[in-house]
Structure 1
Amino acid sequence: MSRIFSTLKRHALRTLLSFCILAFFIAHTTGASRWHFIDDLELMTYDTRLRMTMTGTHNNDIVIVDIDEKSLSQIGRWPWKRNVVAKLMNQLFDTYKINLLGLDIVFAEPDESSGLHIMEQLAETQFKDQPTFKTTLDSLKPNLDYDQLFADSLNFRRIILGYSFDYRGNTHAGVLPTPVFNKAATEKAQQEYGVGLIEANGYVANLPIFQDNVVSAGHFNVIPDGDGIVRRVPMLNAYNGELYESLSLAMARVILSEPFVEFGTVEASGYHSVEYLRLGSLKIPVDNYLRALVPYQGEPGLFTYVSAVDVLNGNIAPDILKNKIVLLGTTAQGLLDLRPTPVAGVYPGVEIHATLLSGLLGERIMQNPVYATAMEIMLLLSIGVVMIIILPIFSPLLAMGGTIIVILFMFWLNVRIWEELRLIFPLASTSLLMLSLFLFNMSYGYLVETRRKKQLANRFGEYVPKELVDEMSKDPSLNLSMESENREMTVLFSDVRGFTTISEGLSPKELSTLMNAYLSPMTEIIHEYRGTIDKYMGDAIMAFWGAPLHDAQHATHAIEAGLKMLKRLDEIQASFQARGWPPIKIGVGLSTGIMSVGNMGSSFRMAYTVLGDAVNLGSRLEGITKQYGVSFVVSENTCKAAPDYLYRELDYVRVKGKDKPVGIFEPLCLRSEALQQVLLELALYEQALKQYRQQQWTLAQQAFTRLYEQYPERKLYKVYLERIDYFQQNPPTEAWDGVYTFTTK
């Protein structure tokens, strides 16, 4: 818990901005502010889940009689004469014995195509004195009154007429059926249950002669969502304060022999809401506007289609229509009953109603429960808070992987709930929240890291390699500072021997080129082993390990760098010789100890550097390398800090400027890599050095002579022979401790 609080504190601004993002989504979900792009994304995720879970099952119980292009080409353009439609009704019920017929068409105007009304006018005017004309007309009238013929074909049959509400204009044509809920019941639903109504201004309904001869009628309005896609159909539509049922609901009610539609309500903690409509034991899930989601099962064609002209001509096999639920509609493009849906850009309106009716009877209507909003808020809060806490801790790769896995898991779980429970829970807001928090944190982290890296580069870029700057920038907890502090560190000094002589034999340009060719690989090696360049002093290099980043292996890294520098120098000598340059030899001195490191200098110029006795010792050790004929000298503290290396003890000395003597050593190689010959030489040398310090001059002289004869290139052995020769002539005092004092740097 303390780590969580420290993380939030360290990333206070990022955390605050992340909570602002979370508040943005909470405000949308609660309705405090609506953001259309989230709603649009939710519709897209709904369509995706719908298409993923479609079964594509063909429904054999519902048949669509199609006023298709074939029917229009043979019978003529729509609307057909009512006597033709009457014949179609008779064929369906008398010949094919269908169970129920729903009409996705409306008959709002009288059919005067027979000319009957003209002949009646003639009978009252020009032919009023001719009884024969009137008698003949009366005998022909039953066959010429097409509306009556059609009304007669409707009577005593299970037929549901269709009609349309007008939401924009103020059209009033035909007559509406009896409403399902009167004004009092509608007002109660609004006041007690908070029902939102889809209110129409007018209607285009069927003529009274037709409406009076059918069981019922239902509206066939489909209202698309904001993106123009038809996903829902209003089960109940309001007009003049009363509620009227849809075509599919009216057909379901007749099939189930249920005289009434009831509201199914949910009550919790004083909250009342209509969650479904009830037809007896059948529940029809609806939203707050009494709309039901169309349970699309696939692309158009999942119902049996028969051409209307084939029904009229009796060309349909009887078993296709017998006892079936039939919808009469059109797929002809010119009749404008084709709709965009989530499963197809062009979908027949009549099949939408067939699909909805099939879903009602099969109880396959998806439900968006009233508690979905509360669950969405809880999900947003829980996921949001967790991500706000952990994203600053995680690496970009881990954060990206975790975010993707959680989003995929949420999607999978959502689809499973959809399939198993037929419940719809919002998906877009939680997914978008996770994505937004991830992108924000990664962008913020990148920008802050870039800024921090730039700051570190400005502070340390000229001292340390780019890799260390990257490492420092990745850990804000380091809190790196250039203020002075004491640390145990290791310092390195290297210098070119005889540089004055070398410089005198070269032109200024050649000298500059030579120094660049020498200093560049030396610097690369120091950076490779995590060293910090302090400064270049002409031909000399000063570097240190252990700052600005702490380095527990500072002594080891410094020795590795020193050995690598000497090896690399041998490698580049050939290229120097090819250019006509003189060979270069260097001395390297290392010292380990407590040093003061930080930005130091004056008000005119500052530098990030190290100071202290251990630093001065390092400089002195580099200077005395040539006294012993070696290239690399380290202090005894360095040896203790890097025990994995094999050393040759050089001497016990008191350097200029220091009273306390120190042991000095030459690093040779890793102990694990030492050759047997080297170990034998060291054993003989250590015995000789012990005899020297015990003032056993004869024995020591014999040992060093033997070593010098075997290794004449070792100046060290000659140095000790000269000292022994001196001490034999000038014996030291009894207080002599074996320390050799240097009086020069």
Structure 2
Amino acid sequence: MNIKRIKISVIIFLLAAVAVVHHLPIHGFLGTHILHRDLFFFPIVLAGLWFGLRTALVTAVAASIVYAHFFYHNISSGRISMAVVVLQVAGFNLMALLTGWMVDRQRRQEQERDFLNDTFGKYVSRTVRDEILGGRVTLSGELKEVTVLFADLRDFTRLVETTPPREVVTIINTYFKAMAEAINAHHGLVIQFIGDEIEAVFGAPVALENHQQYAVDAALDMRTRLSQVNLNLANQGFPTLRHGIGIHTGKVVAANIGSDHRLSYALVGETVNIASRIQSLNKDFDTDILISAAVRKGLDRSVAMQSLPPATVKGVGEPLQLFSIVAQPFVCVE
């Protein structure tokens, strides 16, 4: 017998036991006010604590019927007034409402925390969490201008083929942890890990001013943290890593997407596809951070970059103007 059935059995047993005591011929204050009134609160409170509002109300109704039935004859004989019975029945149901409501509220908060963990992963910022829990952000779908960042490890397939599985997991988890921390530190949100790739967004689900600048700053931070990761990996005898980052700004549909059994926060639109393809172009230009002209236009301070020849991207009609972020003082090189 599982725990739920045991709890239900306990509630039913208590109701039955109190009903029996309720009908015993006990006279005076003890019988009328203590045994016939206060004992009913035990199964009601337990039902609320264990199962929430609905079960608490059902238990309170059952207790009310038993209580009112017993006092029917007492009312007729004038020993107790109808007002006393009505007030006591109201007390049973009020207790059920209060207990059940508090338990249901606590459970909703726990479900919301689980939802955030499942949907946004471990690297959701406190700001994003508070906005969603506060009901100030919709997850049902909205068109937003955001900056999307993709990061992809280079030559990782060969690394997987030549490295024991346990070491591969250690390496990629070390990398993901450092990169996600960099993204979160600059108000970004990791949407998902796809194999050896990271998808992140700046400006959703919570609106963010200057999201282009935050995305570029995150990419620079990721570059720095990758150096630290490689130093740690080298000290452990693991091979070092290289990655490419692509950043693009545009409109996306941001929403919870999936089935009845599994939902995840996702971005849909051409902007996402272009950001992913810009990331891939790092291989062609032998660079590690590429941004589009739309990202450059939104920057609020100078960042060292190199203008590159227009690149043709699959699915985009006109060639894209791209810029490589270089490790130089903040001067734009045209």
Residue 456 of structure 1 deviates from its aligned partner by 4.7
Letter in 1 for 2:239: P
Within 5 Å, give how 1:585-596 maps onto structure 2: 585-596=242-253
1:473 to partner: Cα distance: 6.1
Q: What is aligned with 1:573? A: 230
Distance verdict in 2 for CA 1:636–1:455, change over 3 Å: farther
Q: Quote the residue 1:652 is aligned against.
A: 310
Q: Is the 8 A contact 1:453 1:473 kept in 2?
A: no
- Deviation for aligned residue 1:616: 0.4
2:264 is the counterpart of 1:612: no
**Which of 208, 213, 216 is 1:559 aligned to?**
216
Q: Secondary structure at the match of 1:622?
A: helix
Q: Tell which has more relative contact order, 1 or 2 (C-alpha 8 A, sep 6+).
A: 2
Contact preservation (8 Å) 1:453, 1:469: no
Report if the CA contact (8 A) 1:489-1:595 is conserved. yes
Q: Tell me how far 1:469 sits from its aligned partner.
A: 4.3
C-alpha displacement at 1:466, in angstroms? 4.3
Distance 1:638 1:621 in 2: 12
The DSSP-based 3-state class of the residue aligned with 1:619 is: helix
Is 1:663–2:326 an aligned residue pair? no
Q: Are the equivalent residues in 1 in contact too, given 2:128–2:206 (CA < 8 A)?
A: no
SS in 2 for 1:639: helix
Q: 1:548 Cα shift? A: 1.4
- Cα distance in 1 for partners of 2:239, 2:158 equals 10
Q: CA deviation at 1:486?
A: 0.5
Indicate yes or no: 2:171 matched with 1:517: no
Q: What displacement does 1:531 show?
A: 1.1
What's 1:467 paired with?
126
Q: Note the 1:256-271 alignment, pairs <5 A.
A: none
Residue 482 of structure 1: SS of its match in structure 2?
Answer: coil
* Distance (Å, rounded) in 1 between the aligned partners of 2:277 and 2:183: 20
Q: Is the 8 A contact 1:456 1:473 kept in 2?
A: no
Structure 1 position 457 matched with structure 2 position 113: yes
- State whether residues 596 and 612 of structure 1, in contact with CA within 8 Å, keep that contact through their aligned partners in structure 2: yes
Whether 2:295 is the aligned partner of 1:626: answer no
Whether the 8 Å contact between 1:496 and 1:586 is mirrored in structure 2 is: yes
Structure 2 unaligned spans of 5+: 1-102
8 Å Cα contact 1:456-1:469 kept in structure 2 = no
CA distance in 2, matches of 1:600, 1:485: 12
Write the mapping of 1:187-226 to structure 2, written as runs, cut at 5 A: none
State the partner residue of 1:501.
158
| Contact in 2 for aligned 1:645/1:669 (Cα 8 Å) | no
For the aligned residue pairs, the C-alpha RMSD in angstroms reads 2.6
Residue 326 of structure 1 corresponds to which residue in structure 2? Answer: none
**Deviation, structure 1 residue 524:** 1.0
Tell me how far 1:605 sits from its aligned partner: 3.2
Shift of 1:644: 1.1
Other-structure match for 1:228? none
CA distance in 2, matches of 1:524, 1:532: 10
- Which residue identity is paired with 2:223? L
Q: Is the 8 A contact 2:116 2:129 kept in 1?
A: no
Counterparts of 2:315 and 2:235 in 1: how far apart (Å)?
42
Query: Relative to structure 1, is the Cα distance of residues 564 and 459 closer, same or farther in structure 2, using a 3 angstrom cutoff?
Result: same
Give distance in 2, aligned partners of 1:595 and 1:500: 30
Instruction: State the Cα distance separating 1:571 from its structure 2 match.
Output: 1.7
Q: Number of paired residues?
A: 229
Q: What whole-Å deviation, never above 9, does each CA across 1:387-424 have from its counterpart, x for those lacking one?
A: xxxxxxxxxxxxxxxxxxxxxxxxxxxxxxxxxxxxxx
Q: Secondary structure at the match of 1:581?
A: coil
Cα distance in 1 for residues equivalent to 2:214 and 2:110? 26
In structure 2, distance between residues paired with 1:559 and 1:622? 13
Identity within the alignment, %: 29
Q: CA deviation at 1:611?
A: 1.0
- Per residue, is there more helix in 1 or in 2? 2
Question: Do the aligned partners of 1:526 and 1:561 also contact (CA within 8 Å) in 2?
Answer: yes
State the 1:536 CA deviation. 0.6
TM-score (norm 2): 0.62
Structure 1 regions of 5+ residues with no counterpart? Answer: 1-446, 687-745
Q: Distance in 1 between matches of 2:130 and 2:197?
A: 28
